[in-house]
Structure 1
Amino acid sequence: MEVLAAIGTGHGTISRKRQLFLLPPAMRFQFNPSISINPSPQFQSLLQLQLSTNQTLTVVPALGGGGIDNETERSSPLEVKKEIQRCYQLVHRLGRGALYLGSSRVQPVHPHYLLALELSREVAKMLDCTTWTGAGPGLMDAVTRGALQAKKPVGGFKIGKEAGEWTSSNFHPYLPPDTYFTCRFFSARKHGLVDAIVRNDPSERTAIVALPGGIGTADEIFEILALIQLERIGSKFPVPFVLLNYDGYYTKLLEFIEVCEHWGTVATGEVASLWTVCNSNFEALEYLAEFYGICESKRNYDIGKYVNQGTGSYI
């Protein structure tokens, strides 16, 4: 967000005292610093004024409700701490469950969107747990819709900007506002996503499901893998990690890991021991069912037909 600097009290003629305000998105204009302003106390809470080098007072739109992307706030670790606390509170209220990582760019007509919707619906029903996502578009939206079809709780941690699009509002188009939180800081968001899958009781059923994605998804995948590898995930009990290799999407990534093993930067079989690679929803559901000892009678998956076993594509 663009923020220029200005000097002003916000209570009368501009003086040498600095004062911060916030501006609603619909109101953006410029002032000459020599003028007098007298905003009400309510309006003061809606404006942000700072001093620019050309002595022009610029009032810019800012995101509300925890979505202000302000570089000045990044200088305070307390702001990050507050967000982490709010993320933990949301997880505590909605309950831990299945976390989905995936692209925000995939359109609803794409086969992987339909597969993600199908998988999240069946996992939510089978594990009877909360579904967690980044509460954004693309595959995150597919997962959210699938869990809602299963009539199970959904929670999410939004971020002010998703890949490929600016988020002009902190509000989700259809989720209740008390089921998600918009983070300013990626670090806080990651804390929340990780806490959502921690298992401190053997009765808890959580999982990490990595769907096809880009840089952001890869970042989250490897950060969580590192936490598991170093035993810093904060979970007393193992958490299943599923990598969905729809249509061979992650084949090149798996080959890269083999290269790492060849050069000795990764121990042979080390990564394979941290996750399970599945090529279809059926494989993923069966793996999770085995992991949590779900009996055969409850494995009635409502999933589509596939070209053949081992592929994620619909006929």
Structure 2
Amino acid sequence: MMRIERRQGAVVLRGAEHEAPTADQALLDSPEPDWQHNDPWRVLRIQAEFVEGFDALSQLPSAVSVFGSARTTPDQPMYKNAELLGRRLTEAGFAVITGGGPGVMEAANKGALEADGLSVGLGIELPFEQGLNAYVSLGVNFRYFFARKTMFLKYSRGFIAMPGGFGTFDELFEALTLIQTKKVTHFPVVLFGTEFWCGLLDWVRGSVQQGGFISDGDLDLVTITDDIDEAVAAMGLPNGSVG
């Protein structure tokens, strides 16, 4: 009988223990009466998570992160596109990083692995554990979203966002914010799937840009395309130069 489980770092939680709060939830909930004793210990756990991530990924070659929906199924065109994208990125000399889950993430990892590339998955503890997909060759599981996000940004040459939900939007807008504020430089961002993304860009141009909330050149940070070769070319070259 299959039992629902999730991982919390090196710990596997099943049954009644599965209902325990995730690490992020425990951290972000209202302060506990005994916070003076609990939160300092969390700092050590967070520190260890950064050390583990840096150690695991320190020798990673130039890499590109691919984001997209975990709900995309293998029979859908976007799954096939993500699989081909993972292959093309590998052939161009990049490692491929995803969130390690199913859907678009699985497809990009599959394309990279089957092209004999380095296929990386950065997993996250969730109430209902998905686990890393079978096509990840180097996987790291995180308790905390902010630690995981740091790894995506530190070890990626650029981002390619395929159709997805809130998680994809979160990663996209965080990257754009860091680029806009020059916290990161030379960091290309591609939106793959014009039909999906055009409505968002129309809103940004019509409500955000015309309202004066961003500068006119800020949308130059993004390439939108349906062409896999164009998406890969936008990442530049693995040695760091931009095409």
1:141 — aligned with what? 106
1:110 — aligned with what? 76
Sort the Cα spacing of 1:282 and 1:61 in 2 relative to 1 into closer, same or farther, 3 A: closer
Structure 1: unaligned runs, 5 residues or longer: 1-21, 29-58, 198-205, 295-315
TM-score (norm 2): 0.79
Which amino acid letter does the alignment assign opposite residue 268 of structure 1? D
Aligned equivalent of 2:215, options 267, 292, 298: 267
Sort the Cα spacing of 1:268 and 1:129 in 2 relative to 1 into closer, same or farther, 3 A: same
Does the CA contact (< 8 Å) of 1:158 and 1:182 recur in 2?
Answer: yes
1:167 — aligned with what? 129
Alpha-carbon offset, residue 139 of structure 1? 0.2
Sort the Cα spacing of 1:292 and 1:149 in 2 relative to 1 into closer, same or farther, 3 A: farther
Report the aligned-residue RMSD.
3.0
Which amino acid letter does the alignment assign opposite residue 175 of structure 1? V
- The answer to whether the aligner puts 1:79 opposite 2:15 as a matched pair is no
Percent of pairs with identical residues: 26
Which amino acid letter does the alignment assign opposite residue 85 of structure 1? V
Aligned equivalent of 1:250, options 172, 187, 197: 197
Secondary structure, aligned partner of 1:132? strand
Look at both structures and tell me which one has the larger radius of gyration over its CA atoms.
1
Q: Deviations over 1:27-84 (max 9, x none)?
A: x5xxxxxxxxxxxxxxxxxxxxxxxxxxxxxx62489xxx964755673222222212
1:181 — aligned with what? 140
Aligned equivalents of 2:235, 2:26: Cα separation in 1: 44
1:124 — aligned with what? 90
How many residue pairs align between the two structures? 220
Alpha-carbon offset, residue 116 of structure 1? 0.9
Which amino acid letter does the alignment assign opposite residue 158 of structure 1? G
More helix by share: 2
Aligned equivalents of 1:24, 1:221: Cα separation in 2: 30
1:223 — aligned with what? 174
Q: Deviations over 1:129-160 (max 9, x none)?
A: 21111011110001000111221111121012
Structure 2: unaligned runs, 5 residues or longer: 1-9, 29-38
Aligned equivalent of 1:212, options 163, 167, 184: 163
- The answer to whether the aligner puts 1:98 opposite 2:64 as a matched pair is yes
Alpha-carbon offset, residue 285 of structure 1? 3.4
Which amino acid letter does the alignment assign opposite residue 84 of structure 2? E
Which amino acid letter does the alignment assign opposite residue 174 of structure 2? E
Aligned equivalent of 1:277, options 218, 221, 224: 224
Higher relative CO (Cα under 8 Å, sequence separation at least 6) belongs to: 2
Aligned equivalents of 1:262, 1:94: Cα separation in 2: 41
